[in-house]
């Protein structure tokens, strides 16, 4: 993904292949296929009125294929044309084809793979003549040639002609008035070009805000608990990325930039031993970092999940737990502004200082919503109470003039940037209709307008993971099924098959253990997670983690078919973590009630009766031991590992005082493996059931991990080697050029 930025003035592809196929360089190029319009000279692909965002090399690959539609392009030939001055592996080309197929959709197979040879564009392509002037686009084709000709007949008009012209003039006047009214309605801008600003290949923390002082962009690269992190900066026009020199070594996020553009408000990872009782996991220390350099200083002694300066720069508004507070810039004299029902992120003031907007996250619902209140903390309400386009929105910013509000939201399983007009129309109606600015395979986040409002800076991310196995004897990580972006895996009882979840689309697949004979088992809107084979290998239970829906457990045949709800009378109560009893006659699972308190239940397949496990309130994530005698479970919050003896119906504690997750029994039933967060780095540990001794298996400090709850999974191979998901994502910063 180390592609150079494409040239907006023309294609970056060399021309011999095109000339050989009859393409004249001095002829303006314009192609249409399906609902797409390709403009190579403008480096732009349109779907209707929307710009489809592609990486520069993916765009160049598409131009090559379209220009040579119907012809086979050999892989070596494509690589030579795309990377004429460097050696690259075939995987780079395969990745470009993957991005193109994802961007073009799967309804029509535009790109054909010829095994072991190359690719062919098989969509019907129409090359258009020179573009028609905008003023003539709506005229019938036969009228365009005479549209601007002067009348030659000067004879006096009859009365009927005068009347006809009067009527026409009146209608024309009415049309002009209607057009004037229509043009006055607030409408969002469109994206005319996408430029890549960074090209360093380093991980950008998509959960951290971008900010700009008008000249440079500031953002976080890396993670403090793995490979380290720093405050990075780059010119707003692109160039080399550098890290700021600062004593602040554990930067997690940039919350904002001061009104005078002289300081950054930075979140730092909490120091070891910090008391975060009752606070969300996203809370950290609040620091002020001077620009362009200088010694940072901490704001107060609290831990915040979001913060921002007031427009006058005299105070800081921040979120602690479920409270929104305001204090002096040094953290003194804090007092509450408002109470909310979730975790607050991305606090932002409107340019006129009258309103505050923020994202609210509800844990275990995997959803975000944008809320608004006035600057005094009153009139708290949803920004989009009836918006049907997406129920998952976050991270908005106003344009400098306050006319538009840009934010990120899910769209058809992807994440796009949206724009909402803010100014009133001539009818004094506020347009609350948001429109997408972007579409395409890249996942965009954190929109930040430029100082002049003509661009929006975003982080574009291609999310991928790769399964890695930890070899216990050699003490090293090895790739497991290389090239497959797969998440949680479970193996059939005969160890010949596996069920796995592809990432990030979260579809369930079945294949042989070597990855062959693949079969897709689920389709959108189902989003699968943590599959579990039945003891006889005939069924697979899994979690359906659809966005903005209660999580549910579904069951399907391992040979395919329609997945069905496991518990028919579950209602809106979230369910998760299915685990089979060894006889295959029942499933144990967790469920939360209306008060969000978890408990563990057993479903008997014969009677279809759901019964609670005794004394399991406050516990979740059950795992049945291979012999069926024990059930392990985590407490809420996840600081204890408990063990239930089915022969005595008694719970006992295995581990206490640790942040634990993703437990797995060894196949011999002697150990429970789990993931433990240790000083933010994380490690895999295991505990012996008989001796209750906790031991480290491997530290994850230097293992690249994606900041995503679904990518934190760990599992075990049939020989009890730990499996993890290594981050293979690529994040770069892009600038969206806007036309109003």
398-435 pLDDT tens trace: 999 999 999 998 765 578 899 999 865 544 444 457 88
What band does 154 get if pLDDT is binned at 50, 70 and 90? very low
Cα separation values, 99 from 22, 53, 56, 302, 525, Å: 27, 10, 11, 44, 21
What is the mean predicted confidence (pLDDT) over 371-396? 88
Arithmetic mean of pLDDT, 368-390: 89
Least confident of 300-304, 587-591, 685-689: 300-304
Q: Which residues pair with 467 in a beta bridge?
A: 725
pLDDT at residue 88 in the model: 65
For residues 206 and 140, the model is more confident at 206
The residues, any chain, with a CB within 8 Å of residue 185's CB and separated by 6 or more, are: 425, 431
Going by pLDDT thresholds of 50, 70 and 90, the confidence category of residue 238 is: very high
Of 194 and 279, more confident = 194
Q: Is the pLDDT of residue 318 over 60?
A: yes
> Is 90 exceeded by the pLDDT of residue 588?
yes
Is the pLDDT at 167 greater than 70, yes or no?
Answer: no
pLDDT given at position 297: 95
Phi, psi of 610 (to 5 degrees): -105, 120
CA pair distance 413, 443, nearest whole angstrom: 10
**Exposed/middle/buried for 131, CB within 10 Å: 0-12, 13-18, 19+?**
exposed
pLDDT in tens, 478-499: 999 888 889 899 999 999 999 9
The contacts of residue 701 (CB under 8 Å, 6+ apart) are 225, 226, 681, 682, 683
Higher pLDDT, 586 or 637: 586
pLDDT tens sequence across 631-647: 999 997 767 899 999 99
Domains and CATH numbers, the chain: 16-127 (1.10.10.10)
pLDDT at position 178, please? 57
- Give the predicted TM-score (pTM) of the model: 0.67
Q: Over the stretch 284-296, which tens digit does the pLDDT of each residue have?
A: 899 999 999 899 9
Winning range, highest mean pLDDT, from 198-202, 326-330, 680-684: 326-330
Question: Do 108 and 34 touch, CB atoms closer than 8 A?
Answer: yes
pLDDT of residue 18: 41
Model confidence at 168: pLDDT above 80: no
Per-residue pLDDT, 14: 37
pLDDT digits (tens, 9 = 90+) for 39-69: 998 888 998 878 888 888 889 999 999 999 8
Does pLDDT of 363 surpass 60? no
% residues pLDDT > 70 (the chain): 82
* Interval 83-117: pLDDT, tens: 886 666 677 788 788 888 888 876 678 898 888 88
Mean pLDDT of 653-661: 85
State yes or no: pLDDT of 673 exceeds 60.
Answer: yes
Burial 301-327 (b: 16+ CB within 10 A, else e): ebbbbbbbbbeeeebbbbbbbbebbbb
| SS3 call for 351 | coil
Per the prediction, the chain carries an average pLDDT of 83
Q: Which residues contact 739 (CB under 8 A, 6 or more apart)?
A: 189, 190, 191, 192
What pLDDT score was predicted for residue 115?
A: 82
């Amino acid at each position: 993904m180390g592609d150079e930025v494409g040239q907006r003035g023309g294609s970056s592809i060399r021309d011999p292949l095109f000339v050989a196929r009859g393409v004249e360089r001095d002829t303006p190029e314009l192609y249409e296929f399906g609902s797409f319009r390709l403009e190579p000279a403008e480096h732009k692909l349109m779907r209707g009125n929307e710009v489809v965002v592609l990486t520069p090399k993916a765009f160049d690959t598409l131009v090559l294929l379209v220009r040579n539609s119907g012809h086979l392009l050999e892989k070596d030939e494509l690589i030579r044309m795309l990377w004429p001055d460097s050696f690259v592996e075939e995987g780079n080309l395969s990745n470009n084809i993957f991005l193109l197929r994802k961007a073009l959709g799967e309804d029509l197979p535009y790109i054909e793979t010829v095994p072991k040879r190359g690719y062919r564009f098989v969509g019907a392509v129409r090359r258009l003549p020179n573009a028609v002037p905008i003023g003539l686009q709506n005229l019938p084709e036969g009228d365009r040639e005479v549209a601007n000709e002067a009348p030659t007949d000067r004879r006096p008009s009859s009365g009927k002609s005068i009347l006809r012209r009067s009527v026409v003039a009146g209608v024309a006047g009415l049309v002009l008035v209607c057009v004037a009214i229509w043009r006055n309605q607030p409408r969002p801008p469109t994206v005319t070009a996408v430029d890549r600003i960074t090209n360093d290949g380093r991980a950008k923390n998509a959960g951290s805000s971008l900010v700009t002082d008008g000249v440079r962009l500031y953002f976080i690269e890396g993670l403090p608990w793995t490979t380290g992190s720093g405050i990075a900066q780059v010119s707003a026009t692109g160039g080399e990325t550098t890290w700021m020199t600062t004593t602040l070594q554990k930067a997690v996020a940039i919350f904002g930039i001061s009104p005078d553009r002289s300081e950054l408000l930075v979140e730092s990872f909490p120091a070891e031993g910090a008391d975060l009782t009752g606070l969300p996991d996203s809370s950290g220390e609040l620091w002020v970092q001077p620009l362009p350099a200088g010694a940072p200083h901490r704001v107060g002694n609290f831990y915040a999940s979001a913060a921002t300066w007031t427009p006058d720069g005299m105070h800081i508004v921040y979120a602690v737990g479920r409270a929104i507070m305001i204090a002096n810039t040094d953290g003194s004299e804090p007092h509450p502004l408002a109470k909310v029902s979730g975790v607050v992120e991305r606090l932002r003031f409107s340019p006129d200082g009258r309103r505050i907007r923020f994202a609210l996250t509800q844990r275990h619902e995997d959803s975000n919503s944008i809320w608004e209140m006035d600057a005094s903390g009153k009139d708290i309400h949803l920004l989009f109470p009836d918006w049907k386009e997406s129920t998952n929105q976050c991270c908005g910013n106003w344009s400098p003039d306050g006319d538009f509000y840009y934010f990120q939201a899910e769209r058809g399983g992807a994440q796009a940037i949206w724009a909402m007009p803010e100014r009133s129309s001539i009818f004094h109606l506020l347009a609350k209709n948001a429109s997408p600015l972007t579409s395409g395979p890249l996942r965009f986040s954190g929109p930040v307008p430029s100082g002049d409002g003509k661009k929006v800076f975003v982080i574009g991310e291609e999310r991928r993971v790769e399964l890695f196995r930890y070899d216990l004897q050699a003490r090293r990580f090895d790739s497991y099924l290389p090239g497959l972006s797969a998440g949680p895996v479970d193996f059939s009882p005969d160890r010949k098959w596996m069920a796995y979840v592809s990432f990030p689309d979260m579809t369930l697949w079945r294949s042989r253990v070597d990855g062959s004979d693949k079969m897709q088992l689920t389709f959108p809107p189902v989003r699968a997670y943590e599959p579990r084979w039945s003891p006889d290998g005939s069924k697979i239970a899994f979690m359906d983690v659809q966005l903005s829906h209660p999580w549910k457990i579904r069951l399907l045949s391992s040979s395919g078919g329609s997945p069905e709800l496991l518990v028919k009378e579950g209602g809106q109560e979230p369910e998760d973590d299915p685990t089979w009893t060894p006889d295959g006659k029942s499933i144990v699972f967790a469920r939360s009630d209306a008060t969000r308190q978890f408990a563990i239940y057993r479903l008997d397949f014969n009677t279809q009766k759901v019964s609670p496990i005794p004394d399991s309130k406050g516990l979740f994530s059950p795992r049945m031991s291979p012999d069926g005698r024990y059930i392990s479970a985590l407490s809420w919050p996840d600081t204890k590992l408990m063990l239930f003896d089915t022969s005595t119906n008694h719970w006992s504690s295995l581990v206490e005082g640790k942040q634990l997750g993703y437990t797995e029994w060894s196949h011999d039933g002697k150990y429970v493996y789990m993931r433990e967060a240790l000083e933010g780095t994380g490690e895999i540990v295991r505990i012996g059931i008989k001796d209750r001794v906790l031991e480290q298996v491997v530290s994850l400090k230097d293992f690249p991990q994606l900041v995503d709850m679904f990518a934190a999974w760990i599992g075990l191979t049939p020989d009890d080697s730990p499996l993890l998901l290594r981050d293979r994502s690529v994040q770069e910063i892009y600038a969206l050029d806007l036309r109003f």
